Amino acid sequence: MWLNSIYEEMSAIKLEDFIEPSTEVGSNDHVAGTMSNELKKLYTLMEKSRNEGRKNIEKIENIFSLLLDSLKFDIGQASKKLLTLYDIFGVSLRDEFNLWDKDSVGVRKGFAVVWTEENKEPDKEPESKCKEEEKCDGNCEECISPLAPIIMSLNKAGSLKKKSEGKRRF
């Protein structure tokens, strides 16, 4: 079962393999604590998954039209697994730090776990990868998933059912 493989992959991650969040703690962030090693492993696994997805997208862009039919299943599966990892990580963060009543929970450099007050101005605008930035509210698939350009192409072609997802937050 796929969930068992998550634990196996996490067990193989060593302290020196941890991928640390790159976003600094901001002035509107409230540090709730520092991630445990298990959460660091889960975060590292999630980031490795995201990086693999990005690499695959770069490869696919060059040969997309030739391989579309054979990749539909793999792309949908990878996207669902990544979204599930996000959900598992988010629930794990909220559970370990009792942040269930916070709207925006995140991770920062030094493996800091934070919750952010949404009603204050952020330190800086997050980088948007959305091609429709002026019209986008941040909830489009392109802003949510690193596999979004492929998924959006498949959706336009009618190959995948469009899944309504909110903005990905932990």
Q: What is the pLDDT of residue 43?
A: 96
Written as one string, the DSSP assignment of 4-70 is HHHHHHHHH--GGGPPPP-PPPPTTEEEEEE--HHHHHHHHHHHHHHHHHHHHHHHHHHHHHHHHHH
CB 32 within 8 A of CB 96: no
- Mean pLDDT over all residues of the chain? 78
Q: What is the pLDDT of residue 159?
A: 45
Query: Which strands make up the sheet holding 112-116, listed edge to edge?
Result: 29-34, 112-116, 105-108
* Cα Rg, the chain, nearest whole Å: 17
In this prediction the pTM is 0.50
- In this prediction, residues 125-132 reach a mean pLDDT of 56
- In this prediction, residues 123-148 reach a mean pLDDT of 57
Q: How many CB atoms lie within 10 A of CB 61?
A: 10
Q: How many CB atoms lie within 10 A of CB 113?
A: 25
**Residue, of 131 and 158, whose pLDDT is higher:** 131
- Does 141 have pLDDT greater than 60? no
pLDDT digit string (tens) for 43-102?
999 999 999 988 888 877 777 667 676 667 777 788 888 999 999 999 999 999 999 999
**Residue, of 23 and 69, whose pLDDT is higher:** 23
Lowest mean pLDDT, pick from 9-13, 41-45, 101-105, 152-156: 152-156
Q: What is the pLDDT of residue 160?
A: 44
Strands 112-116, 29-34: pairing kind = antiparallel
Q: What is the pLDDT of residue 57?
A: 83
Distance (Å, whole) CA 101 – CA 75: 33
